[in-house]
Amino acid sequence: MSTVWMAVIAACIGCYIAKIAGASVPHNILDKPVVKATSDAIPIALLSALVAVQTFAVGQTLVIDARFAGLLAAVVALLLRAPFIIVVLVAAATAAALRHFGFA
């Protein structure tokens, strides 16, 4: 089996265990305020880290390229309350246009 397949299957199993745990794990573990507060913070931290890395990293080097312009366009779209798919399309179109016209 390829590495990608193994990653897909392992992550599916892991995510399902998380889903089923909620209804099964003794509540006194999940009811601890620090567990709850940490779990609220995890998506914010990981998703923000992904935004940063996917915008500025190429492998292990940091660069500023068309992706950054795309991200700025996405933020503008979010401020204008655009739906998800528009945010993504605006970012992609911005980066593609900059490259097409040779700015990035």
Which residues, 36 to 95, sit near another protein by CB under 8 A?
36-57, 59-62, 66-67, 69-71, 73-75, 78, 83-85, 87-95
Total binding residues for another protein by CB under 8 A?
77
Q: From residue 53, how far is each of 8, 12, 49, 73, 100 by CA, in Å?
A: 21, 24, 6, 17, 24
11-30 binders of another protein (CB under 8 A): 11-12, 14-16, 18-25, 27, 30
- Shortest reach from residue 78's CB to another protein, in Å: 5
Instruction: Give residues with Cβ within 8 angstroms of 65, minimum separation 6.
Output: 104
The tokens for 15 are 């995510």
Q: Does 102 bind another protein (CB under 8 A)?
A: no
The tokens for 29 are 């573990």
Residue closer to another protein, measured from CB, 61 or 102: 61
The tokens for 10 are 């392992």
